[in-house]
Amino acid sequence: MLLEYQVNGGDFTNAGSVSSNVKKMMRQLGVDSSVVKRTVVALYEAEVNIVAHAYRGVITVDLQPDKIYIKLADEGPGIADISQAMQEGYSTASVAVREMGFGAGMGLPNIKANSDILNVNSVVGKGTTVEITNNF
């Protein structure tokens, strides 16, 4: 089953609504709650990254009986050095943002830890695509 959601950069208020929906659907399928939890955490972090770092994005969710595939494609500044961004503690967040409690640089490492397959692709000046696959 294919679903699509729009995400706006800067809208922290609504970040998390996609995760809520996906969680509910996985539960309807009867997916093990540890897998539901992993997926929700990964998706939430990736969703917040669009809100925090990009201009806008589209989240596509493909839910299958045995796995879930999520693609988060955004229009934004892109990531120049992905392997650096993947490191724990790396963040380009400003001091002001860090003071708000964001920008610990744990988002991407968390996404990696909570997905079975993770692909990150980016074109600087254009946007970033994050693909998460979790098997049930």
Please report, as ranges, the residues that interact with Mg ion according to CB under 5 A: 49, 107
Residue 9 interaction partner, one of ligand ATP, Mg ion, other proteins, none, beta carbon < 5-8 Å per kind: none
Rounded Cα distance, 103 and 95, in Å: 9
The residue (of 36 and 72) whose beta carbon lies closer to other proteins is: 36
Check binding of 4 to other proteins (CB under 8 A): no
Q: Where would I find the beta strands (DSSP E) of 1-126?
A: 2-8, 56-63, 67-75, 117-123
Check binding of 85 to ligand ATP (CB under 6 A): yes
Which residue in the set 44, 53, 70, 132 belongs to the binding site for ligand ATP (CB under 6 A)?
53
Rounded Cα distance, 38 and 134, in Å: 8
Which residue in the set 5, 69, 90, 136 belongs to the binding site for other proteins (CB under 8 A)?
136
Site for ligand ATP in 3-32 (CB under 6 A): none
Rounded Cα distance, 45 and 30, in Å: 23
The residue (of 59 and 108) whose beta carbon lies closer to ligand ATP is: 108
Check binding of 63 to other proteins (CB under 8 A): yes
Rounded Cα distance, 13 and 129, in Å: 22
In the chain, the amino acid numbered 35 is: V
Tokens representing residue 89 in the block: 């503690």
